[in-house]
Amino acid sequence: MFGKGMSRPIALVTGGGRGIGAATSKRLAEDGYDILLTYNTSSKPAEMVVDDIRRTGADALAVKVDCNDDAEVALLGIHPWMHREIDALVLNHGRYERVAAEDMTIAGLRTTMKTNFEGAVAVWKAVQPHLTASARIVVVGSQLGTRGSPHGADYSASKAALAMWARSLAQAVGPQGKRVNILAPGFVDTAILAGDSKQKRAEREQLVPLKRVATPEDMAGTISFLIGPDSSYITGAIIHVNGGLYLP
């Protein structure tokens, strides 16, 4: 994407050590970006992603940021890499715990909203002064943010709030030259589905018209498109990438 001799732009990917975030970090490095990725609970997977990226000739760095912790988010905002400016921001981190809607507690709701919604907004606020004039932002939402879920009401609510915030932001920063879009995945082979039995996985696959669960790379490809020049007239969109599972 970027020519030889040009300074490589930077992409910041929250939750970049695993799943969709890891695949996105690697894909954007292939696209020509240096990658600043965050992790929270485990450094080893994040450092493995960094090693993989560096072997390709790109630069990458993993930093510990709990997006539920205002102090850690503030430190991200003054990270040395911010002096280079951020060209692409992928807000991918999140929290999901399978709890029946009728059993959801207010404490659980607050924690999920703080991490998934407020944490994403906090990262945006911290990074905003360091974004380039034509920065591209992708918010990783969920199909559940549109359709709801009987066993993830707090998660669905947080993703719905996130999507509407992102759409509002797209309208606000569009005149500045920045773009904001929302990726809404369906079933993706990440830690959220790691507890599936073989029977449950087969049931999921049968629900999807394309008859398979998505890979993290499927999501990374769409994020790459939303950050790249071919999507230059797309902003404020919710892109459902779910194999036909849900057609809003």
| Residues recognised as catalytic | 155
In sequence order, the β-bridge partners of residue 99 are 152
CA dist 38 and 93 (Å) reads 9
The H or E element spanning position 181 is strand 179-185
CA dist 206 and 216 (Å) reads 19
Q: In terms of Cα–Cα distance, which of 163, 160, 221 is closest to 20?
A: 221
